[in-house]
Amino acid sequence: MKKKIVKVKDKLLNFIKRIKNEKLISKSIKENRLFIVYVIACVLNSTLLRFFTIPTLENYLSFKTIIADIAVVTIIGSFSYLFKGKKRYIYLLIWATIFTVICTINSAYYTFYTSFASVSMLSLTQYIGEVGDAVVENVIQIKDLVYIFPLVFFIYYYHRLVKNNKYKKYSKTIRLKKFKNSIITGTIILIVFMVMLSSLEISRFVKQWNREYIVMKFGIYLYQGNDIVASIQPKISAMFGYDDAKKEFNEYYKDRNEEQDYNNEYTNIFEGRNVIVIHAESMQDIALNRTFNGEEVTPNLNKLIKEGLYFSNFYSQVSVGTSSDTELTFNTSLMPTQNGTAFVSYFDRTYIATPSLMKEKGYYTFSMHANNADFWNRRAMHESLGYDKFYSKENYDVIDENIIGLGLSDKEFFAQSIEKIKKISQEHEKFYGLLITLTNHTPFSDTEKYGDFAVTMKTTITNEDGTTSEIEAPYLEGTKLGNYFKSVHYADEALGEFFTKMNEEGLLDNTVVILYGDHDARLPKNEYNLMNNYDPVTDDIKDKDDPTYEEYDSFDYELDRKVPLLIWTKDGKVKGEVNYTMGMYDVMPTIGNMLGFYNKYALGHDIFETKENNIVVFPNGNWITDKMYYNSQKGEYKLLKDEIIEDDYISKNNEYTEKLLDVSNKAIVFDLFNPNSEETVSKKN
């Protein structure tokens, strides 16, 4: 045994000596310059992407992730040696371009969605034209153009090699040898990377539902390759994985009662009343009860909050489907799908939804949205959810002077909708209706149409001579956040007019109004910091050494994404503030208890039953309770209460989160609410 070890040692020393004497490394670099520049350019771009999207020290110095990127780029690039002359360069150029496009798209995508792009979203490109201004103004940024420079350098370097006669043309034998050496090198690097992985990392890579975590641990190129597999998997697994999915589904719900088994103070409190649901586009809690120079941003909402039941710790749970994800979760108490969106990819499934359950109780159900009926595939999906009629853009009088942002202004939308609701109330004994607003949609750039609302700061300053002066500093004027507040102020005015006119028509007398913000406004973090730490003297953010400076970290930013939820009646039947942590999937069981319907398969809970013990799960694997907000991508948390947390608190909630997301996704993909799901899902796929 000792002799074998000595022999291996001698061989290794001889190999190292040979490398040194023959200068193999420098020789190898010279003979493969273009290939090495290609690898450096592609790996540099993937590193820049992580730098711009997930700015943590751990991510910057993630040696393991860089190894993964090098392995992928090297293995793919190795096939270039199978081509002669210029074709070798063209092959590398094509892949360098593909990798550049991947980084550019994901960089821009992350800005808006705080997630990474998926091949499954290709079906949604048809909607880009509808929100083109939002994409250009709020998504595409200068940083997204950085990735082209390494590609340009690669092209320049090739032409420089050709000009200096240093771009070598190899014989077939040499090319095959270089191909073999490079693909073996890439494979060894990949094996080294795989050996370094933990079981948790492998599990999350396979499940693919935490994209930020995967990119941080595996790199953008492995993520994108895995995403391609994950995106076509539903079509394949729907044909082959039904039995396992059904078994897991039945196991998850086996202890659920067929009928509601509890009563509380809100049980059946609104049974028989008409219901109007207002889907308030991009309405975020940060706008409520906020003033600029004594003027409220949302005076009408503030008034309604005081008169109704306001849920002050309420979170949206959207993924890449944004508004459509909210509609899904609000109506079904299910989570967004892991790939694609339910509205586009799974509109033909069977859903147990609030509109369909209200129809069973004798209600006429309708939805109203003055946008293209096929945007987010609402025309088809609203039928699947149980709406009797969808009033879309084709049912509204849309003229240029009434357009703000993406379409018909909220004021005009509400005015025309009231006439439709009035007719519905005359023709039907009870109704349940959804109104989806539009004006308060990014990019919030039609400021001249929002009215005169200033986001300045009037303050008193002390001059050098000791006297004081009144100034009006710009504050948030000209910022996206400032423009957002102007847009919200307009949206609030429209809501005020809607309630006034509805009341004048007598349509609020026996009606419950439910209003929710569909998701946060996707605004830059640095502008929140400006809002909280503005110095009117310097017209800039205060210095961190300033004693009045308030630290604003990533946790504050994520927690500030809360949206409002309000339940209001004219007679003040319910009122007060509910501060339990609550998510969009909790709305269905909560209002179901109030309106007299029950869904055994709801993933959320009646908040008045769970109270402080509730947990809100987000599609990316993050979760929040009354005690803690947990970021699963970073494995970091922020305590929200000063109390001792059990040792297994995080692990139990992580397990709960993973199971819930998995069951929800399979229930949709495999059409498990359909009694004939095994037969129908195979036909659909």
| Residue 332: Cβ-neighbour burial (10 angstroms; 0-12, 13-18, 19+) | buried
Residue 15, pLDDT score: 47
Give the pLDDT of residue 524: 86
Return the axis-axis angle of helices 677-684 and 220-240, rounded to nearest 10°: 130
Alpha-carbon distance of 212 to 416, in angstroms, equals: 43
Query: In the prediction, which pLDDT does 262 show?
Result: 96
Give every CB contact of residue 206 below 8 A, 6+ residues apart in sequence: none
The pLDDT value given to residue 61: 67
DSSP 348-408: TS----HHHHHHHTT-EEEEE-SS-TTGGGHHHHHHHHT-SEEE-GGGS---GGGEETTEE
Measured from the Cβ of residue 612, the count of other Cβ atoms closer than 10 Å reads 12
For 544, residues 6+ apart whose C-beta sits below 8 A from its C-beta are: none
User: What is the reported pLDDT for 135?
Assistant: 47
pLDDT recorded at residue 121: 61
Chunked mean pLDDT (size 10), the chain, 685 residues: 52 52 59 91 93 73 88 96 93 96 88 72 54 50 86 94 84 91 94 88 74 86 86 63 91 95 97 98 97 97 98 95 95 92 90 98 98 90 97 94 93 98 97 97 92 94 84 95 97 98 97 97 91 94 94 94 98 97 98 98 98 96 97 91 92 96 94 79 55
CB 598 within 8 A of CB 333: no
Distance, in Å, from the CA atom of 440 to the CA atom of 370, rounded to the nearest integer, reads 13
Positive or negative, the Cα torsion across 406, 285, 387, 344? positive
pLDDT at 111: 75
- pLDDT in the model for residue 136: 47
Give pLDDT, residue 112.
Answer: 67
Q: Cβ contacts of residue 71 below 8 Å, gap of 6+?
A: 186, 187, 189, 190, 193
Non-local (6+) Cβ contacts of 330 within 8 A are 277, 279, 354, 516, 584, 587, 588
Answer whether 550's CB lies under 8 Å from 313's CB.
no
pTM for the model stands at: 0.80
pLDDT at position 82 is 94
Give all domains of the chain, ordered by start, each with its CATH number.
19-240 (no CATH), 249-442+480-684 (3.40.720.10)
Distance, CA of 489 to CA of 447 (rounded, Å) = 11
